[in-house]
Amino acid sequence: MWRTWLQVAPGRWTNGAVPRAIKLIRASALSEIAQYAYAATAPNDARLLFLAGACPLNEDGTTAAPGDYAGQAARCIENMNQALAAADATIYDVISTRVLVASSQRDDLVTAWGIVRDAFGDHDVPSTLVGVTVLGYADQLVEIEAIAAVVD
């Protein structure tokens, strides 16, 4: 069976589903309802990347998609991908995430989570989804923290 491989950075290839440096761990004794792996490991020779929280900011510093949880989550993913690219990494190198949503309504958290989950696809890294009171920028509703591991 042939697989399609994509070059995600110079000299780095992925099939879009299997992370290169990290191993996602399933815990068969835990509920399968979670839409992510319960743990992940990186090899000792991995370079760890600790990303600042990706915010839904446009290039001019304004907040994207005011009042729109899905729109802000999508912009956070775009900005996170830019930060990863600057560190010679991709979303497939992410080992864990924390998604912060400024809301006490579960539906708002689920809306933001749906965008994040879809962006990661089969690379379902361990994640935490948290409702918070407020985030740092005017009109900000979503922020995504991530840690990545790359073997150079």
CATH class given for the domain over 6-150 = alpha beta
**Reduced to 3 states, what is the DSSP secondary structure of residue 134?**
coil
Residue 83 structure tokens? 């930060």
Q: Residues 74-127: pLDDT tens digits?
A: 999 999 999 999 999 999 999 999 999 999 999 999 999 999 999 999 999 999
* pLDDT at residue 129 tops 70: yes
User: Lowest-pLDDT range, 6-10, 50-54, 134-138?
Assistant: 6-10
The pTM for the full model equals 0.85
Please give the pLDDT value at position 13. 42
Which sequence spans correspond to the domains of the chain? Answer: 6-150
Higher pLDDT, 2 or 32: 32
β-strand partners of 145: 98
Pairwise pLDDT comparison (65 vs 19), residue with the higher score = 65
Question: Which among 38, 12, 35, 34 has a CA at the least distance from the CA of 23?
Answer: 38
d(CA 36, CA 15): 19
Q: Which alpha helices (H) appear in the chain, and where do they start and end?
A: 69-86, 106-120
CB 81 within 8 A of CB 56: no
Which is it for strands 94-102 and 47-54: parallel, antiparallel or unpaired? unpaired
Report pLDDT digits (tens) over 20-79.
Answer: 678 998 888 888 888 789 999 999 999 999 999 999 999 999 999 999 999 999 999 999
pLDDT at 9 over 60: no
